[in-house]
Amino acid sequence: MKKKPFNKYVRRTGRYPFMGITQDESFRRQHQYSKTGCNVYDGTTIKSQPLGPWRKQDVLRFAYEHMGKEIELPDGSSYPFAIAPVYGKIEKDLQGIFHLTGEQRTGCMYCAFGVTEEKEPNRFQRMQISHPKHYSLCMKPVEEGGLGMKEVLRYMDVPYETWESVGQMRFDIHGEIHEYAA
């Protein structure tokens, strides 16, 4: 699912992708990078991993320091540096460690791999708030044109609904809860 589109693109265009993979993403990637370096030419595979020597903290520091600055392109145009909204903001703690306030990683938003190890709110609970239409498709039964993940997550005993009020404002006024449509 991940590699097939890249391979198809290479066959169709003759161009090879740059991979934004850092070596600290996994032991396997770190080991592979230590053997091949940034560029791989092994007879069957050609790829470039220019972020290979970087760690996640290096990437976050770069983004933090360049946020909102104009990035000039070779054609003379420019754009303000930004990160995708799904990641939230980049914050620096008292120890100088950078953190994302939103999603830590992205990929297929419907993938449940590793969700059993997540704290609440997990990715599906966050999706209910951040992307309600996607969430609806994800949870809808397959027979109704959805992906059927509600049944899967229920079977896995994974919470899939947020405990927060979706589309509501809640106020506790002297111990009495008042809800209003947002």
pLDDT mean by block of 10 residues, the chain; 182 residues: 78 85 78 80 78 90 96 94 92 96 84 90 91 95 96 96 66 64 52
In a domain, 60, yes or no: yes
Please report whether residue 47 resides in a domain: yes
Whole-angstrom Cα distance, residue 6 to residue 12?
10
- 138 within 8 A of 123, measured Cβ to Cβ: no
The answer to whether residues 61 and 43 belong to one domain is: no
- Phi first, then psi, for residue 92 (nearest 5°) are -110, 125
Nearest to 135 by CA among 155, 149, 151, 114: 149
Q: What is residue 116's predicted lDDT score, i.e. its pLDDT?
A: 93
Judge if pTM exceeds 0.85.
no
pLDDT at 180: 61
Q: What does the DSSP 8-state code read for residue 87?
A: G
Identify the burial level of 111 via C-beta atoms within 10 angstroms of its C-beta, where 0-12 means exposed, 13-18 middle and 19 or more buried.
exposed
Decide if 23 is inside a domain. yes
* 62 and 78 belong to one structural domain: yes
Residue 169 lies in a domain: no
Same domain for 94 and 59, yes or no, is yes
91 and 61 assigned to the same domain: yes
Question: Is residue 43 located within the same domain as residue 75?
Answer: no
Question: Is position 27 within any domain?
Answer: yes
Answer yes or no: is 94 within a domain: yes
* Same domain, yes or no: 48 and 77: no
- The answer to whether residues 38 and 68 belong to one domain is no
146-182 in b/e form (b: 16+ CB < 10 A) is eeebbeebeeeebebebeeeeeeeeeeeeeeeeeeee
pLDDT, residue 37, reads 80
Residue ranges making up the domain that contains 149: 115-156
Number of domains in the chain: 3
- 88: in domain: yes
Same domain, 82 and 93: yes
Judge whether 2 lies within some domain: no
**Helical residues (DSSP H) of the chain, grouped into ranges:** 3-13, 27-36, 56-66, 123-130, 132-139, 149-156
* CA 33 – CA 169 distance, rounded (Å): 49
State whether 135 and 152 are in the same domain: yes
